[in-house]
Structure 1
């Protein structure tokens, strides 16, 4: 089992919905956190606000880095190394989305998505795992998505990044288990985070409504299940009931899942949402 009390945990995408919940709940668990995101001011403000309401744990540092670039990932690694504090748990949480048909999303946004969602976790894992191997200790957590198991229309680019992150996590698990390093991949359904307001392009910007409110999960509950999965050293974590059901049908009844997906799209377009 992974012990989180006094563990040094690096969280990317710390100002987002999942990032804030991870910060809050890991501080309550007594972890020592290194937080990173793009905007230094927002990062410090949110870290201070959360830390002021939690009596345990510690925020060791707030670091800024652009994880959409190789240089940004390397900069983050060197900033962490300069602290002189080994990282016990790396949580690759940063992620973005774009919505639109594959031929309607401009090149730059979806390439940036692949850099943040897939390349950054791969780069950071490769950098930090060297130190973990030397210590024979560590845990890498990749926040994927249930879209990493079933790709919904309009999220082809996003799903591709999350399918890739799932495959990377599985390969990493097999490579690192001999060194006592754990790997966890997490597959939530759509949750109440800023990613729901991701930019839409083309047809999806014109005709597709938002998800019904009662379908959207609570990020606090999702991250609570995620942390339990980390503690239990689970490779695959499905932190909400919708994700669990989609995974089940994808494995054992894919034809039925296709029917559900078609019905899902039809009801969204009709505006019934139920």
Structure 2
């Protein structure tokens, strides 16, 4: 089992919906947190709000980090090194999304998405795994998506990044298991976080009516399941009922899932 009590945990994308829940729930477990996001002022404001309600645990540092480039990832690593603490758990949570047909999304948008959603976790995992291998101890957590198991129109680039993260995580697991380093990958369905209000482009944007409220999951419950998966060293975590259903359908009844997805997409686009 992975111990959370006084564990030093680095969380990327800590200002977002999942990031705030990870912060709150890990503080409740008395973890020691290093939090990062692109806007340090917003991050500190949200952390202070959480700490007015949660008195356990400790926030060691709030760091500004732009993970859309190799230099940004390396800069974060060096900032963490200056704190003179060893990272027990790395949670690659930062992610972005948009909605639009593949050929109608500006290239700079989807290329940045790939950097943040896929290349940043790969870069940070490589940097921090070196220290974990030396210590023969550590845990790397990648927040993927059920879109990493089943693609959907309008989310082609997002799905590609999350499929890639799933493959990377599985390979990482096999490479690091002999060094007592655990790997956990999480595949949530759409949750009630700001990512649901992502930017939209082109044809799909004109007809899109947004995800109905009753489909979205509760981020607090998703992160609770995520933390249980981390504690029990699970490689794959499907933290909500919809994610579990999609995963099972994709494995055992993919044609049925395709038909269900077609119906869902038509409703989602107002068709």
The residue number in structure 2 matching 1:220 is: 220
| 1:28-107 equivalence runs, <5 A | 28-107=28-107
Do 2:65 and 2:72's aligned partners in 1 also have CA atoms closer than 8 Å?
yes
The residue that corresponds to 2:125 in the other structure is 125
Residues of 2 paired with 1:125 and 1:53: CA distance? 32
Cα distance, 1:138 vs structure 2: 0.1
Contact 1:8–1:87 (Cα < 8 Å) also in 2: yes
Equivalent residues in 2 for 1:18-37, closer than 5 Å: 18-37=18-37
8 Å CA contact 1:144, 1:187 repeated in 2: yes
Instruction: Give the Å deviation of 1:268.
Output: 2.7
Q: Secondary structure at the residue paired with 2:86?
A: coil
Task: Tell me what 2:198 maps to.
Answer: 198
Q: Quote how far apart the aligned CAs of 1:52 are.
A: 1.9
Secondary structure at 2:4 match in 1? coil
What is the RMSD of the two structures over their aligned residues, measured on CA atoms? 0.7
Q: Does residue 238 of the first structure (1) align with residue 230 of the second (2)?
A: no
Query: Bigger CA drift: 223-232 or 261-270?
Result: 261-270
Q: Which runs of 5+ in 2 are unaligned?
A: none
Structure 1 unmatched ranges of 5 or more: none
Equivalent residues of 1:132, 1:138 under 8 A apart: yes
Aligned to 1:112: 112
What's the CA shift for 1:270?
A: 4.2
> Secondary structure of the residue that 1:139 maps to in structure 2?
strand
Preserved contact between residue 154 and residue 204 of structure 1 (Cα < 8 Å):
yes
* TM-superposition CA deviations, 1:85-132 (whole Å, max 9, x none): 000000000000011011000000000000000000000000000000
| Counterpart residue number, 1:160 | 160
Partner of 2:257: 257
What is the alpha-carbon distance in structure 2 between the residues aligned to residue 111 and residue 41 of structure 1? 26
TM-score by structure 2 length? 0.99
1:145 paired to 2:145: yes
* CA distance in structure 1 between the aligned counterparts of 2:183 and 2:241, rounded to whole angstroms: 22
Deviation for aligned residue 1:226? 0.3
Cα distance in 1 for partners of 2:233, 2:264 equals 33
Equivalent position SS for 2:104: coil
Please give the alpha-carbon distance, in whole angstroms, between the structure 2 residues aligned to 1:107 and 1:269: 23
Query: Which residue does the alignment assign to 1:6?
Result: 6
Structure 2 residue 184 is matched with structure 1 residue 181? no
Matched residues, number: 271
Secondary structure at 2:126 match in 1? helix
